Amino acid sequence: MNTFDAKKLARPELLELTPYQSARRIGGRGDIWINANESPFNNSDLDKLNRYPECQPPALINAYADYSGVKPSQIIASRGADEAIELLIRTFCTPGKDTIASFGPTYGMYAISAATFNVGVTALSLTSDYQLPENWPAEIGDAKLVFICNPNNPTGTIISKQDIEKAIASAPQAIVVVDEAYIEFSPEYSVADLLSTYPNLVVLRTLSKAFALAGARCGFMLANEAIIDLVMLVIAPYPVPLPVSELATKALSSDGIKLMREQVASLNQQGERLTQVLQQIGAQVLTAKGNFALARFKNVTEIAQLLTDNGIVARAYKDPRLADAIRFSFASSAQTNKLIDVLLSSKNT
């Protein structure tokens, strides 16, 4: 039997906390709203922009529930998945005492977010084929949160659903956070449907990648209600600006989802073209399951210089495990044409 109890993992002082009672949260009934020191003037085309928004706008939460197949009560909208990472750390980790665990090379914000809160990081390594190492549960000590990025940034590699499920079951006293920022590019690997089985699972999502809304800052945390209730104790009173929730709700309409899927298919095609050329010029390209490919080069300095000289800004890494690698985000067809021309010219230099 799973004895997971989210409250036992939470920072104990939070259990005593009464969250800030915003005017919006207290609410009321009537025609004259003078309870929040707002302006009575709306100077914008957006309805009610002079008013504070709902903490968790119902239209947005319902739209994400429809899209993800998760109940509205199991969703928190945040300022990007980055804020969701920070909220989890602030909810469950006591500064100077607790730790998180992650498997690298991976997305840097788990460790940075922990460090800004004086929370320790047990940084384990993925295996040489970018899978979870054997016996990792024995190595995470009392880590409260275990971050698994799938598809993984920056390698682009994937861990099977079966192995992720095994991981969730192997750490029943920790919260396993599966970061699915890139899942729209490999939707069959999502573990969101496992929320009903595992109370210690959290799934992170974002509209920054496949939904093309990085500038809007909108992400989601999916989890069971016990975890959601605790995170709601630390979230800001108004984390989702009104224009953002309107844009995001539109992106999650059936037309928006159709557009997203078309664009994902097109980006995957450009990714395949790029991968072929990278291989042709001798790079070792990892299986790309997100919207980017990580390529290892024998002559990485030369390639990096070639890209810079041609005004192409790709991502190189300081991590010694990635010293010979460059990450290429998939781009439009015209941009990919240009990139391919530049890469092929390296064969002639």
Ligand X SMILES: Cc1ncc(COP(=O)(O)O)c(C=O)c1O
81 binds ligand X, rule: CB under 6 A: yes
149 binds ligand X, rule: CB under 6 A: yes
Q: Which stretch binds ligand X (CB under 6 A): 13-21, 77-85, 183-191, 311-319?
A: 77-85
Question: Within 13 Å, how many C-alpha atoms sit on residue 17's CB side?
Answer: 18
Q: Min. distance of Cβ 107 from ligand X in angstroms?
A: 4
Q: Min. distance of Cβ 106 from ligand X in angstroms?
A: 8
Interface residue with ligand X, options 105, 119, 158, 179 (CB under 6 A): 179
- Whether 148 and 179 have beta carbons less than 8 Å apart is answered as yes
Cα distance between residue 104 and residue 329, in whole Å: 19
Residue 112 exposed, middle or buried by CB count within 10 Å (0-12, 13-18, 19+): middle
- Name the residue among 141, 215, 152 with its Cα closest to residue 178: 152
Classify residue 194 by its DSSP letter: G
Q: Min. distance of Cβ 184 from ligand X in angstroms?
A: 13
Q: Min. distance of Cβ 66 from ligand X in angstroms?
A: 20
- Whether 201 and 74 have beta carbons less than 8 Å apart is answered as no
Residue 174 or 244 with smaller CB distance to ligand X: 244
Bond preceding residue 151 cis, omega within 30 of 0: yes
Residue 325 or 340 with smaller CB distance to ligand X: 325
Residue 80 or 256 with smaller CB distance to ligand X: 80
Residue 11 or 79 with smaller CB distance to ligand X: 79
Q: CB-based contacts of 259: which residues, under 8 Å, 6+ apart?
A: none
181 binds ligand X, rule: CB under 6 A: yes
Residue 145 or 343 with smaller CB distance to ligand X: 145
**Of all residues in this chain, which one has the CB nearest to ligand X in the complex?**
80
80 binds ligand X, rule: CB under 6 A: yes
Binding mask 42-61 for ligand X (x = CB under 6 A): --------------------
Cα distance between residue 278 and residue 265, in whole Å: 20
Q: Which stretch binds ligand X (CB under 6 A): 51-59, 76-84, 294-302, 303-311?
A: 76-84
Residue 222 exposed, middle or buried by CB count within 10 Å (0-12, 13-18, 19+): buried
Q: Min. distance of Cβ 322 from ligand X in angstroms?
A: 14
Residue 80 or 120 with smaller CB distance to ligand X: 80
Q: Min. distance of Cβ 129 from ligand X in angstroms?
A: 19
Tokens 């915003």 locate to 22
Interface residue with ligand X, options 120, 199, 219, 239 (CB under 6 A): 219
Q: What SS3 state is found at 223?
A: strand
Binding residues for ligand X restricted to 239-268, rule: CB under 6 A: none
Tokens 């009560």 locate to 73
- Name the residue among 145, 111, 322, 141 with its Cα closest to residue 230: 145
Interface residue with ligand X, options 36, 46, 214, 323 (CB under 6 A): 214
Q: CB-based contacts of 340: which residues, under 8 Å, 6+ apart?
A: 273, 274, 277
- Name the residue among 303, 309, 312, 308 with its Cα closest to residue 331: 312
Chain centroid, CA 217 distance in Å = 11
Q: Min. distance of Cβ 214 from ligand X in angstroms?
A: 6
Binding mask 193-212 for ligand X (x = CB under 6 A): -------------x-x----
- Name the residue among 199, 205, 190 with its Cα closest to residue 228: 199
Classify residue 338 by its DSSP letter: H
Residue 74 or 208 with smaller CB distance to ligand X: 208
Interface residue with ligand X, options 107, 130, 185, 211 (CB under 6 A): 107
Number of residues lying near ligand X (CB under 6 A): 12
Binding site for ligand X (CB under 6 A): 80-82, 107, 149, 153, 179, 181, 206, 208, 214, 219
